[in-house]
Structure 1
Amino acid sequence: MQIIIVVSNLKDWDFNIEGVEVITAKQYLTNPKYPALKNAKIFNLSRNFKYQSSGYYVSLLAAARKHKAIPSIATIQDMKSSSVIKILTAELEANIQKSLKDIKSDKFTLSIYFGKNLSKKYDSISLQLFNLFQSPFIRAHFTNSNQKWVISNISAITTSEIPDDHKDFVQAAAKKYFESKKFNVPERNTKGYDMAILWDPEETTAPSSEKTLQKFIKAADALGIHAELITKDDYNELSSYDALFIRETTAVNHHTFRFAQRGQADGLVVIDDPESIIKCSNKVYLAELLKMHKISAPETVIIHKDNMMLAPDILGYPIILKQPDSAFSQGVTKAVDEAEYVAKVNALLEKSDLIVGQQFLQTDFDWRIGVIDGKAIYACKYFMSGKHWQIVTWDKNKTAGRYGKVETMAVEQAPKGAIKIAEKLAKLIGPSLYGVDIKQKGDQFFIIEINDNPNIDTGVEDAFLKDKLYTEIMQVFLKGIQKSKMA
């Protein structure tokens, strides 16, 4: 990968980094050599990023040339909006308070150089902000109001704004950054592609174990895809891959969603894509989708403060109550009488203006049909956990669960009605990887929910197909990557 640093004036870059080309913004914009470059990464250190300035055009034209610009046009715009800064940094709230708790003044400025700060105690927050606002040099301004630190402003800075006593540190940080493995990979052959698999080593309810992830990596390698595990701290490396496979529990207000958005914006094949995460994570949306397309589901009512006492007349007791963005059976509860119903509905409505009420269907197991690219690839029976009414019984802290047994079979052995309804719903969501949960009563099948990022684990979902399951999923990635390269 060719690394190019773009500055307004060559005198602006006074660091010695081997293997890095330094040019002016004028050269990048006007020299015919640069549009013809393939696989280039542009570090834009122009003095001015104002709309239609040369610095603005460097990042804009980099996108048109399929170069990877840091900062991108999107990042430049994000830094200008205080509301966007507030939204993007909401997840960093706890780390901000922890990192700045010992500062006595009401204002604090953090200088970030390639994700690093002179003080190691700010490394964590510096890396997180660098991942969110990718620019070589960043200055973040914090203010303390009512004993709470907030970000008041974030901006990209140029070398001229770096204090002299910081420059040795900046030289070392830049050298380490550009010498890292992501810039020293050999030129790919024509059949070789790279995939990032996002996971959290600390997650207790991860959709795939590390052992299973190694099976995905092996299957990818057999198809000419080099796959490797990344974590949320590798956000700034996304653009160097061809595909992103998310194997961490997803949510909209979460870094997994930002990874999906950034990957899609950078032209990667992403599973699961941002739209799938949005649609699958919200049970209110699912209820409306099923109704519009006349897909069988248990009787369902969207509950709000004005109609909460009507739902029991329609659904009867017991009633299943669902928080719209619940996952892994968490945020799903059962009310057996009016007193319990009122208490639980009021608690759920404190978190969301709308919740889902659903008719309770007692079954010994739920069907789980795995679907990718519109095609069913595995079929499981998830049995209820002990005498519980769900497939998992959670402990009081919701951190560990006891699961019921699972029976896995060939898709051809599962009821045709279950496969048909699962594939129909999946195609309405998109082409990603989904787990469709279905209840069966006699010859009738009822959709319970559809999950992006479904569980796939060794000895469970792969019990019938074994290694072939991982190959089938990687083949979908390969087809998508090849298609994107031809576009």
Structure 2
Amino acid sequence: MQQLIVVSRAEDWPLEIEGVERVLARDYLTDPGWSERRSTRVYNLCRSYGYQSNGYYVSLLAAARGHKPLPSVATLQDFKAPNIVRMTGVELARLIETGLKPLQSDEFTLSIYFGRNLARRYDRLSRALFNLFPAPLLRARFQRLTEGWALKRIAPISFSDIPDTHLDFVREAAGRYFSGKRPRAGRSRVSRFDLAMLVNAEEAHPPSDEKALSRFERAGEAVGFHVERVGPDEIGRLAEFDALFIRETTAVNHHTFRFARKAAAEGLVVIDDPDSILKCTNKVYLAELLQRHGIAAPRTLLVHRDNAAEIESRLGLPVVLKQPDSAFSLGVVKIEDRETLECTVRQMLRRSELIVAQEYLPTAFDWRVGVIDGRALYVCRYHMARGHWQIINHEMGGGDEGMADTLTVGEAPESVVHTAVKAAGLIGNGLYGVDLKEVDGRVLVIEINDNPSIDAGCEDAVLKDALYRDIMGVMFKRVTERKLGRASLQ
């Protein structure tokens, strides 16, 4: 496997390690040649990992290209979670207390280089923290409280933060790591047969209305779950459950993602799982993923400051611009003229290093195929809002929506269903809504949504209660299989 270190500037990794190639972040993000590489491990040592910064997109696009990024975007989000240090579990707390108890001071800083520390007595603690927060260079800060030692903060550091006296050790630790002698991650655990359904009563456009939520509850009880609704402030209760079903609009910079991460860490079956949230909620990732796997989509350009002037010549006008984390048609705009294009691109690039430009393809409706466990579940036609080019017209006061009608999977065009299932398979085996257009006999994937809308009277119009039973049944089967697997190991 090729080893690749990505840095903001050349001086950010001056060490020469055999078999390891160094590349600048800007080149990795903009040179199409990197997309063609296979079997590549990417070590992201950018100066900033902030949301939609260069460092953020290095990890995001590395995953889309089939490379293996360290740290992953999920890990980057963990560093920012305000209460992540309280989610690390009893075992780590025990390890912290055991390792730091002999110290006389009330504060302690631990530098972790590729899972190791200079002092061998901190090896187990360093490996445990690296397994929870996998990043090449870390610094953890601990404080002695009345009840004992506690982790107060952990964050990645840059090469310039490493003391000169540590450089020989860093070179040795990096060499060992790149040669394949890496710390191993541990196992997750599970508890009881209960399902938490995350909902938010304050959400303006939830993915399921009250009737649909009630039907999910009844279906869950029918297959064998005790279903309980939980709210955004109840993340600490997740260890009480066996499964988490998210029925709130997801985003990476959001508590829904922290719920998914926490639930996965606790060993729960999760829909939407954190990887699906990461992949589906960023249109930059989806554009790269579809292109890499040869899935037909509208002509698309990943736009950055160096190629923004090429949008009109390559895609024409009108053109559709998309903020990477847009949802429910928000952050998606149609541009008619050059002056507006230049102004809008500048504004969008202030928020994100990359945005998506896509050719404008007018159609009377979009297809939506619901997919779970790698098979089509339902098929809808979402018609455009009256006098508008999108399904939802947010320019109207409350958001005017077009009509929708639902078909059986057998009634829908085979090419639409097949393409949707294939596209969803690139994300995982969870619950997805794949949006597609038919243009001149071609089926094009617009996007893949985690947490798809399921409202009473719309998506369930054909299957009715069986739709909810099917989804709950998949989750129950996974919990059962996980418990049986765990029992066989005992």
CA distance in 1, matches of 2:465, 2:257: 28
Counterpart of 2:421 in structure 1 is 423
Q: 1:357/1:47 Cα in 2 relative to 1: closer, same or farther (>3 Å)? A: closer
Q: Output aligned runs, 1:85-484, within 5 Å.
A: 157-158=146-147, 193-395=193-395, 400-484=398-482
Q: Is the 8 A contact 1:215 1:470 kept in 2?
A: yes
Q: 1:427/1:395 Cα in 2 relative to 1: closer, same or farther (>3 Å)? A: same
Deviation of residue 158 (structure 1)? 1.3
Q: Is the 8 A contact 1:49 1:76 kept in 2?
A: no
CA distance in 2, matches of 1:46, 1:368: 46
Match of 1:371, SS? strand
CA distance in 2, matches of 1:443, 1:302: 26
Deviation of residue 443 (structure 1)? 2.4
Deviation of residue 308 (structure 1)? 0.7
Amino acid at match of 2:320: I
Deviation of residue 210 (structure 1)? 2.3
Q: Is the 8 A contact 1:192 1:226 kept in 2?
A: no
4+ residue runs over 2 A deviation: 42-55, 73-78, 152-157
Match of 1:305, SS? coil
CA distance in 1, matches of 2:374, 2:95: 47
Q: 1:297/1:379 Cα in 2 relative to 1: closer, same or farther (>3 Å)? A: same
Match of 1:245, SS? strand
**Matched residue pairs, number?**
329
Q: 1:197/1:46 Cα in 2 relative to 1: closer, same or farther (>3 Å)? A: closer
Q: Is the 8 A contact 2:195 2:226 kept in 1?
A: yes
Match of 2:426, SS? helix
Deviation of residue 442 (structure 1)? 3.7
Q: Which has the larger radius of gyration?
A: 1
Q: Output aligned runs, 1:5-20, within 5 Å.
A: none
CA distance in 2, matches of 1:208, 1:352: 30
Q: 1:54/1:217 Cα in 2 relative to 1: closer, same or farther (>3 Å)? A: farther
Counterpart of 1:28 in structure 2 is none
CA distance in 2, matches of 1:154, 1:206: 41
Match of 1:325, SS? strand
Counterpart of 1:10 in structure 2 is none
Deviation of residue 49 (structure 1)? 3.0
Q: Is the 8 A contact 1:48 1:54 kept in 2?
A: no
Deviation of residue 387 (structure 1)? 0.7
CA distance in 2, matches of 1:451, 1:51: 45
Q: Is the 8 A contact 1:269 1:480 kept in 2?
A: yes
Q: Deviations over 1:190-235 (max 9, x none)?
A: x982000001011011101222111101001011111110011111
Q: Deviations over 1:39-68 (max 9, x none)?
A: xxx97998993463689xxxxxxxxxxxxx
- Structure 1 alignment gaps of length 5 or more: 1-41, 56-72, 86-151, 162-190
Q: Which has the higher contact order (CA 8 A, sep 6+)?
A: 2
Q: 1:443/1:157 Cα in 2 relative to 1: closer, same or farther (>3 Å)? A: farther
Counterpart of 2:49 in structure 1 is none
Q: 1:46/1:274 Cα in 2 relative to 1: closer, same or farther (>3 Å)? A: closer
Q: Deviations over 1:73-94 (max 9, x none)?
A: 779988xxxx999xxxxxxxxx
Match of 1:412, SS? coil
Q: 1:214/1:286 Cα in 2 relative to 1: closer, same or farther (>3 Å)? A: same
Counterpart of 2:154 in structure 1 is none
Aligned with 2:99 (options 52, 58, 65): 52
Match of 1:429, SS? coil
Amino acid at match of 2:99: Q
Q: Is the 8 A contact 2:96 2:149 kept in 1?
A: no
Match of 2:260, SS? helix
Q: 1:76/1:465 Cα in 2 relative to 1: closer, same or farther (>3 Å)? A: closer
- Structure 2 alignment gaps of length 5 or more: 1-88, 103-127, 151-190, 486-490
Amino acid at match of 1:375: R
Q: Is the 8 A contact 2:97 2:149 kept in 1?
A: no
Match of 1:229, SS? strand
Match of 1:285, SS? helix
Deviation of residue 441 (structure 1)? 1.6
Q: 1:77/1:374 Cα in 2 relative to 1: closer, same or farther (>3 Å)? A: closer
Q: Is the 8 A contact 1:192 1:225 kept in 2?
A: no
Q: 1:154/1:457 Cα in 2 relative to 1: closer, same or farther (>3 Å)? A: farther
Match of 2:353, SS? coil
Identity of aligned residues (%): 47
- TM-score with structure 1 length normalisation? 0.63
Amino acid at match of 1:193: F
Q: 1:436/1:160 Cα in 2 relative to 1: closer, same or farther (>3 Å)? A: closer
Q: Deviations over 1:121-140 (max 9, x none)?
A: xxxxxxxxxxxxxxxxxxxx
CA RMSD of aligned residues (A): 3.0
Q: Deviations over 1:141-200 (max 9, x none)?
A: xxxxxxxxxxx9977541999xxxxxxxxxxxxxxxxxxxxxxxxxxxxx9820000010
Q: Deviations over 1:408-456 (max 9, x none)?
A: 1111111111100100011110011111000012421101001110100
Amino acid at match of 1:410: T
Match of 2:298, SS? coil
Deviation of residue 294 (structure 1)? 0.8
Q: Is the 8 A contact 2:192 2:240 kept in 1?
A: no
Match of 1:200, SS? coil
Match of 1:377, SS? strand
CA distance in 2, matches of 1:459, 1:155: 56
